Every structure is written in structure tokens, then in C-alpha cells.
């Protein structure tokens, strides 16, 4: 019998090589591409690259100073692609905003807004409408600043507001000391660049027309080594691909390392646009009745891609294990039963997992998203190799390997591949929050 063993030490060694900031479209992302391709080639695979354009940024300078009733400078970081202040910055009254309620925003007109709220579509639109001069977004209570970028679609729809990230404790101090007049300086270089997806296909021997995608994103945010998010997932699926490169399988596996996920799922959206034929391919023709009735004949269309299994955030030393399902209840039941069979506790829920599965879900392809995490260090410089261990990688790595093997080598995929209306609703709501221009698939 074939031994199904995930080599956590191989995965950990690869992760150490990827442990550096590698934002989309940068030379560092290109270096990560080279590292991953070298690993895949050594496993006997033939990876290819597919390029796509993205918008990114580089911080030039960022500062925040309280000028009244006391004077003090605080460490901040730019929010990417939010534009730049004039050379001397913007000086204005500070207002703490706790919601997007119009009556609250009225008091912030022509002022600088301090907020802990996420800059979602409605909130950002209303801030712009009320002519907010600058935004100070308060990060969660961690030692280092999180690095964020402004949604490209918001910029296109509503315009730019110069924005910075401020630490939680510093924001508390400003509030407690009644900071009134603030000077914000934010300058960045915004540029267009080329990002890449890496693709390695392993052809199935018995049912090659049925394809399962195994994916992870390999980019990180600015200044973050991105070991949890998502060097861990990238190393995990690389090791899974090495196993299947040496062992036969019935269905075709497509391994994809997506670029620029952190910039708005850019790599996975680019893939779904470029590979439309894989989502709806003519597979057979039914004979028509003698009367030419439509119900008795015609063409059956079925997607080549049956399922997406996404690995985003794995490998932590301390961690809770989870699965997010966008698909049928029978698929959720299968994963739950499998986790019990393996003796691995899993939180299993239906939702829209905020990762590269989303563009596939929008096309009607169900997904299983696997994760293991307990850290609040994501999107910060503290997301480094110190948070990961080989044993941590083994947990989701071994489970994921065995799960993939069960599915791709089954005589028939053992669950319904439809997406229920409730999960479609999660997906559409997620996309609509991110893209004001999105029009739902009929």
C-alpha cells in the first residue's frame, strides 16, 4: 500500500527560503517565484508562469505629529495607493469616528478622521463625501504596525484620501491626552508592475478531464516576511505537489501559487479570466428526439474544474485548525467525517473565506479552505519564521495531503459539487463589498 506521508522538514526548509518581504510586482516577489520554481523542478514538475498587471506602492515618508494641546510625533505607515499629502503635510482638527453614520461624519467634515473601523465600501464612500482631509486608521493591539493598502476599486469609484496606519497604544494616548490639532505627512510612490502566478499540472491517468485546483498565495504585504501569511501555505502545497509528482492519481491536479493576493486577489482573478474554458467546457451531446424536442436532446456543459482546495495561513506552533466551506452540506459532512477519522479537531463552517477561492466560487466552483492560526502578527514585520515549526506545518500538511488523495483518487467524487444559495450569497456580498462596479452573475 502507498505510504501517504507529508514531509514537514522539506516544507519548513522551503519556507525558510521564502521568509522575506515579497509584495506583488516587486523584485522580491520575482525572487520568490524563482525559489518556488526551482523546488518544483527538483520534484520532477514543469512549472510555468502567467503574468498580469497590478498597481502597487512604495512608502517614501510617513509621519504624524500632535501639535496642540501638546507636541509629540508618532510612528505611522502609509496605507498603500491612498495618495500623498502636500510636501508639508496636512494640518487639521482631529475627530474620532466610531461609525459610518452620516450624523457622526458631519462633525468630521474638512477634518482628519481617526478610526478603528475597517475602510469598507460604505465607510470610505461616506468619508470621501464629507471631504475628510486625511484618515488615520488605528491598527489592532500588536507590537508592530500592520501594512494595508487602499482598495483599487474604491479609488476608481470615489477618489483618494491620504491615509496612514497608527498603532493602537499610540492612538489611545492621543485620545486620553485630548489631541486636537494633528499634522499628517504621507508620501508614497505608486507604480504599475508585473506579478506572476506559478502553475504546475499533474495529469490524471483515468479521469484527466476532471480537474482539482490546489492553491496558495505566495506574496506578502510590505515589510512583512509573511511566514504565516502565506509562506506557510505556499510551502505546504509545494510539498503536496512533490508527493503527487511521484505517485499516480486518477484526476488531474493543478497546483497554483497565486501572486498579489494581498493586493486584492489579483492573481486568482487574473487566472479565472484567462482560463474561462476550464469553467464551462462542452463534454457531450445528447441525441435529439425525432420531434426535435429540446428536453430530449442538446448539449451537456460541465466545468472541467470540479473543486478548489485553498491553503492560506498554516503552520503555526500554536494554532486552531479550521475549514471554511463554500459548497454543499454533503461536502462539509465529508470533511467533518474525514477530520474525525483522522482524529484532528476542526472548526468547520460555511462562509466566504477571504482568499483566492473567491474568484472560483463566483464562477460556481466549490471550495475547501484549510487554515491553522492563532497569531495576531499577520501583515506585520513580526510574521516571521519564529512563529512556525515543522510540526506545525505537519498538522494541515498531512491532513490536506490525505484529503486531496481521497478526493482525486475516488472512483466518484464523494459529495455534491453544487454551491447552495446561502454560500452564493456570502460570496456575492464579499465581492460587492470590495468592488462597487461588480455585477452579479445571472
What digits encode the pLDDT tens for the residues 54-102?
999 999 999 999 999 999 999 999 999 999 999 999 999 999 999 999 8
Residue 381 scores a pLDDT above 90: yes
> What span, in angstroms and rounded, lies between the C-alpha atoms of 139 and 147?
9
Total of domains in the chain: 2
Report the CATH number at residue 103: 3.50.30.30
State whether 118 and 67 are in the same domain.
Answer: yes
Lowest mean pLDDT among 77-86, 87-96, 280-289, 305-314: 280-289
> For the chain, what percent of residues have pLDDT higher than 90?
88
Phi-psi map region of 110: left, alpha, beta (phi>0 left; psi -120 to 50 alpha): left
Q: Is residue 2 part of a domain?
A: no
Give the pLDDT confidence score for residue 1 in this predicted structure: 52
Helix (H) or strand (E) holding 342: helix 329-342
Residue 78 per-residue DSSP state: E
State whether 92 and 29 are in the same domain.
Answer: no
Of 145, 170, 189, the one marking the end of a domain is: 189
State whether 241 and 122 are in the same domain.
Answer: no
> What span, in angstroms and rounded, lies between the C-alpha atoms of 144 and 382?
7
- Residues 106-112 have a mean pLDDT of 94
* Angle at 79 (CA atoms; ends 112, 220), nearest 5 degrees: 160
State whether 268 and 370 are in the same domain.
Answer: yes
- Residues 368-387 have a mean pLDDT of 92
Q: How confident is the model at residue 111 (pLDDT cuts 50, 70, 90)?
A: very high
State whether 384 and 319 are in the same domain.
Answer: yes
- Cell 503527487 sits at which residue? 244
State whether 256 and 346 are in the same domain.
Answer: yes
- Residue 199: all three cell numbers together: 502553475
Give the pLDDT confidence score for residue 3 in this predicted structure: 86
Q: Is residue 290 part of a domain?
A: no
- Cell 473567491 sits at which residue? 358
Of 165, 189, 213, the one marking the end of a domain is: 189
Give the pLDDT confidence score for residue 283 in this predicted structure: 53
Among 428, 368, 372, which residue's Cα sits nearest to residue 395? 372
Output phi, psi for 230, to 5 deg.
-140, 45
Give the pLDDT confidence score for residue 441 in this predicted structure: 77
Residue 361 scores a pLDDT above 80: yes
Let me know if 359 is exposed, middle or buried by CB neighbors in 10 A (0-12, 13-18, 19+). Answer: buried
Report the CATH number at residue 265: 3.40.630.10
Of 189, 222, 241, the one marking the end of a domain is: 189
Handedness of CA 150, 153, 154, 159 (dihedral sign): positive
Residue 289 scores a pLDDT above 50: no
- Residues 358-370 have a mean pLDDT of 97
> For the chain, what percent of residues have pLDDT higher than 70?
94
Q: How confident is the model at residue 279 (pLDDT cuts 50, 70, 90)?
A: confident
**What is the average pLDDT value for the chain, to the nearest integer?**
93
State whether 222 and 369 are in the same domain.
Answer: yes
Range picked from 135-149, 270-284, 358-372 for highest mean pLDDT: 358-372
- Residues 248-268 have a mean pLDDT of 97
- Residues 15-41 have a mean pLDDT of 98
State whether 214 and 341 are in the same domain.
Answer: yes
Residues 358 and 201 sit within 8 Å (Cβ to Cβ)? no
Q: Model confidence over 168-223: pLDDT tens digits?
A: 999 999 999 999 999 999 999 999 999 999 999 999 999 999 999 999 999 999 99
Residue 281 scores a pLDDT above 90: no
Residue 403 scores a pLDDT above 60: yes
State whether 38 and 95 are in the same domain.
Answer: no
- Residues 367-392 have a mean pLDDT of 93
Q: Is residue 289 part of a domain?
A: no
State whether 45 and 131 are in the same domain.
Answer: no
Q: Is residue 71 part of a domain?
A: yes
Q: Is residue 96 part of a domain?
A: yes
State whether 176 and 252 are in the same domain.
Answer: no
State whether 184 and 69 are in the same domain.
Answer: yes
Q: Is residue 340 part of a domain?
A: yes
Q: Is residue 85 part of a domain?
A: yes
Give the pLDDT confidence score for residue 256 in this predicted structure: 98
Name the more confident of 339 and 280.
339
- The pTM (predicted TM-score) of the whole model is 0.94
Q: Model confidence over 220-257: pLDDT tens digits?
A: 999 999 999 999 999 999 999 999 999 989 999 999 99
Range of the structural domain that residue 319 is part of = 8-54+193-284+298-434
Taking 3-state DSSP, the helix, strand and coil percentages for the chain, each rounded to the nearest 5, stand at: 35, 30, 35
- Residue 351: all three cell numbers together: 462562509
Strands 134-138 and 163-166: parallel
Q: How confident is the model at residue 290 (pLDDT cuts 50, 70, 90)?
A: very low
Among 119, 197, 113, which residue's Cα sits nearest to residue 158? 119
Give the pLDDT confidence score for residue 373 in this predicted structure: 83
> What span, in angstroms and rounded, lies between the C-alpha atoms of 351 and 419?
11
Amino acid at each position: 500500500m502507498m505510504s501517504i506521508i507529508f514531509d514537514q522538514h522539506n516544507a519548513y526548509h522551503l519556507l525558510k527560503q521564502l521568509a522575506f518581504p515579497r509584495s506583488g510586482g516587486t523584485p522580491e516577489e520575482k525572487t520568490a517565484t524563482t525559489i518556488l520554481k526551482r523546488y518544483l523542478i527538483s520534484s520532477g514538475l514543469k512549472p510555468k508562469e502567467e503574468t498580469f498587471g497590478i498597481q502597487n506602492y512604495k512608502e517614501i515618508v510617513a509621519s504624524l505629529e500632535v501639535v496642540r494641546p501638546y507636541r509629540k510625533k508618532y510612528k505611522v505607515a502609509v496605507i498603500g495607493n491612498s495618495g500623498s499629502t502636500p510636501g508639508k503635510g496636512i494640518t487639521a482638527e482631529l475627530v474620532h469616528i466610531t461609525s459610518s453614520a452620516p450624523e457622526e461624519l458631519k462633525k468630521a467634515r474638512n477634518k482628519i478622521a481617526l478610526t478603528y473601523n475597517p475602510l469598507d465600501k460604505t465607510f470610505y464612500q461616506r468619508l470621501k463625501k464629507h471631504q475628510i482631509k486625511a484618515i488615520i486608521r488605528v491598527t489592532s493591539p500588536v507590537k508592530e504596525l500592520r501594512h494595508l493598502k487602499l482598495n483599487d476599486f474604491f479609488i476608481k469609484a470615489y477618489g483618494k484620501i491620504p491615509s496612514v496606519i497608527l498603532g493602537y497604544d499610540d492612538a489611545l494616548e492621543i485620545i486620553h491626552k485630548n489631541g486636537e490639532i494633528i499634522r499628517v505627512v504621507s508620501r508614497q510612490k505608486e507604480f504599475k508592475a508585473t506579478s506572476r502566478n506559478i502553475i504546475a499540472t499533474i495529469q490524471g491517468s483515468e479521469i484527466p478531464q476532471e480537474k482539482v485546483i490546489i492553491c496558495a498565495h505566495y506574496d506578502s504585504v510590505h515589510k512583512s516576511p509573511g511566514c504565516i501569511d502565506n509562506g506557510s501555505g505556499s510551502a505546504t502545497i509545494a510539498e503536496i505537489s512533490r508527493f503527487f509528482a511521484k505517485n499516480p492519481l486518477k484526476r488531474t491536479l493543478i497546483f497554483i501559487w497565486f501572486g498579489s493576493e494581498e493586493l486584492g486577489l489579483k492573481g486568482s482573478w487574473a487566472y479565472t479570466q484567462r482560463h474561462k474554458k476550464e469553467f464551462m467546457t462542452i463534454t457531450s451531446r445528447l441525441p435529439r428526439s425525432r420531434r426535435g424536442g429540446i428536453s430530449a436532446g442538446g448539449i451537456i456543459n460541465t466545468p472541467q474544474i470540479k473543486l478548489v482546495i485553498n491553503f492560506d495561513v498554516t503552520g503555526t506552533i500554536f494554532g486552531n485548525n479550521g475549514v471554511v466551506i463554500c459548497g454543499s452540506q454533503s461536502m462539509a459532512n465529508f470533511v467533518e467525517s474525514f477530520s474525525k477519522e483522522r482524529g484532528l479537531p476542526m472548526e468547520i463552517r460555511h462562509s466566504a473565506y477571504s482568499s483566492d477561492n473567491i474568484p472560483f466560487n463566483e464562477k460556481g466552483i466549490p471550495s475547501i479552505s484549510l487554515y491553522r492560526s492563532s497569531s495576531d502578527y499577520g501583515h506585520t514585520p513580526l510574521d516571521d519564521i519564529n512563529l512556525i515549526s515543522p510540526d506545525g506545518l505537519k498538522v494541515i500538511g498531512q491532513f490536506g495531503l490525505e484529503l486531496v488523495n481521497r478526493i482525486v483518487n475516488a472512483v466518484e467524487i464523494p459529495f455534491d459539487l453544487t454551491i447552495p444559495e446561502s454560500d452564493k450569497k456570502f460570496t456575492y456580498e464579499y465581492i460587492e463589498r470590495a468592488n462597487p462596479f461588480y455585477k452579479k452573475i445571472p
